[in-house]
Structure 1
């Protein structure tokens, strides 16, 4: 089945749209990928919507969030149209769309998670069934609702030497561990590029630290790093997840541009190293996807602080930019077939669960 996956991630930089051919089980073949960046105005409105949502006691009506949701849905319609145009396919060729939407607040400790995006509207725009709201059922059952990518990582990693880890570096970082006996464990490790991006935006109005060049020119403040790593969240056993807003750049205020970037980059790497300590076996390799893999300084720090071989998933022939969008396409097909997308070892759900709400056109 041809399936489209859509992801607007915690980096808030745009929409990733992927078209794959998959049976939702062992078969998954990339067909086309399209990345559509957000403009600066929308990124600002989206960040503010997230801030307001995080201040709420539960999901509900909030004028800016509602306005951003409508705008977000229209942008996703545009992304799907662009993807279809690039692929040479028409809407009638596609069996389902996996629509993650955008997480404006993630509060599993309060029993809810909130992804905005109009699944019914997207289904109506193309006449294609849409699977959306993929996290809420897991959280309602007592799970973390994240990460959801492990089921797709497992399919892709079938031929890799085990134990191994797939690490996603978006705004937040998460890992999938596949043990030598097939054990599947996954959890958020901490921040990835989120704080680094915030620091660069505040200090020099740059979207991100390109290639990690700024961090490479700085010195890590190990005392401040130790204070950040003393947060008790890092010692919690998996599965666990966090919201992008759980940590802030306050810990590095007062440092110069380069040292602040270096310390926040080391914070990401140190958190991954701490996460590795939670695993039942040390992995033979860490395969990295997401935008953070383009940060050479971060990749080097990951190697240094974990003591494990670190490499981009692109070296495996995977598309590290498309991985999450592909995963939501894969999960949408699993939802149609009644197959689980989350598991006790990946989200803490009580049983393997088929999540997502199906919207038919």
Structure 2
């Protein structure tokens, strides 16, 4: 059952992705009719994590163990407080009072992603995002929708990627076969044929390995514009070993995270005396190659690739992706009215709107769920 939404539809979307390089917060205005695909970014901010908290979250996301229930509970509250603070910064900068916002859609911070096929016990898949939504609703005085992934997992899906429904609503064209590529820590595709079903899946590492290797060897959280990678040369033998991981050959639906692709995974495949810069160049080529491989395999008719996410600002990565996709136009979603830096945060604002309207937020053909589902839990203001 659908419900009516306020005519002036302001929503906040919050996400911290696989790279945990900051909390993306987007203030989005939608039309009053839920069938209206109008969507405008009013304001966006990226709020950095406290360095110590980020280091702990990244360690957990890469498969590290928590020290106990007390630590997990504390982290859940800390992340909730950080997301609430990011919302307050966003609204203050935008000059918008909390009373004018319909809802916050919060993705949370993923600390473990074990969907079907990757469950630790082989029987009970799950996806776990922390960031207590009670705290967001309480601190901000705004109804908050969170915990989007687990209903899809309960319905037999991967719980990811969830942005394809938003991409389809905003970026589909009847004139050409398109794909949307989100370059977060993990890359993911939404395939938008001019006619036919929407599909989507993770491609493997986009920024996560690049960021982690850069942090280790340069002390910098990310490789700005790919300049570290540009000082190295691709090690073809190492690239072949990395690309040979069986995960890349798995058919969709599939999803991944730092549990699969982390620095231990890289180091297990290192041989010889490759320099740190050469490894960085090779990791960048791995991202480009596996992205191009996936598009060639699953929608070779694509004529336009729309890019979004933090990796859009890495000109070296974009150039290598374009070089492997001759004949395909590669351009950011900005060209089509969606700010490439905030598409994913905007998507979670949209997902909150879907939930409040009683409408599904997943695409079953993408996640592998048994059907469309209304996602998330609602925490009233």
Q: Normalising to structure 1: TM-score of the pair?
A: 0.94
Find 1:316's aligned residue among 336, 339, 345: 336
Please report how far the alpha carbon of residue 245 of structure 1 lies from its aligned counterpart in structure 2 after TM superposition.
2.6
Please tell me whether residue 116 in structure 1 is matched to residue 130 in structure 2. Answer: yes
Number of residue equivalences: 357
CA contact (8 A) 1:10 1:194 kept: yes
Please report how far the alpha carbon of residue 77 of structure 1 lies from its aligned counterpart in structure 2 after TM superposition.
1.3
After superposition, what is the alpha-carbon deviation per residue over 1:122-150, rounded to whole angstroms, capped at 9, x for unaligned?
Answer: 11222221110000010111100001111
What is the rounded CA distance, in whole Å, between the counterparts of 2:50 and 2:274 in structure 1? 29
Find 1:276's aligned residue among 264, 271, 295: 295
1:281–1:48 CA distance, 2 compared to 1 (3 A):
closer
CA contact (8 A) 1:131 1:357 kept: yes
- Map 1:197-346 to 2 at 5 A: 197-248=211-262, 249-250=266-267, 251-252=269-270, 254-307=273-326, 308-346=328-366
Greater alpha carbon shift after TM alignment, 302-311 vs 344-353: 302-311
- Other-structure match for 1:89: 96
1:291–1:161 CA distance, 2 compared to 1 (3 A):
farther
Please tell me whether residue 75 in structure 1 is matched to residue 82 in structure 2. Answer: yes
Segments of 5+ residues of structure 2 without an aligned counterpart are 1-8, 120-124
- Other-structure match for 2:4: none
Segments of 5+ residues of structure 1 without an aligned counterpart are none
CA contact (8 A) 1:174 1:187 kept: yes
CA contact (8 A) 1:143 1:349 kept: yes
CA contact (8 A) 2:183 2:307 kept: yes
CA contact (8 A) 1:49 1:64 kept: no
Please tell me whether residue 28 in structure 1 is matched to residue 29 in structure 2. Answer: no
After superposition, what is the alpha-carbon deviation per residue over 1:301-354, rounded to whole angstroms, capped at 9, x for unaligned?
Answer: 101223333222223332111111111000100001111111222111111111
Please tell me whether residue 101 in structure 1 is matched to residue 115 in structure 2. Answer: no
Q: Normalized per residue, which structure has more helix?
A: 1
Greater alpha carbon shift after TM alignment, 23-32 vs 36-45: 23-32
What is the rounded CA distance, in whole Å, between the counterparts of 1:116 and 1:300 in structure 2? 35
- Other-structure match for 1:131: 145
After superposition, what is the alpha-carbon deviation per residue over 1:35-87, rounded to whole angstroms, capped at 9, x for unaligned?
Answer: 111132221121233346x658xxx9633332222111111111111111111
- Other-structure match for 2:380: 360
RMSD: 1.8
After superposition, what is the alpha-carbon deviation per residue over 1:199-253, rounded to whole angstroms, capped at 9, x for unaligned?
Answer: 1111121211111112122211111111111111111111110022312331347
Q: Normalising to structure 2: TM-score of the pair?
A: 0.89
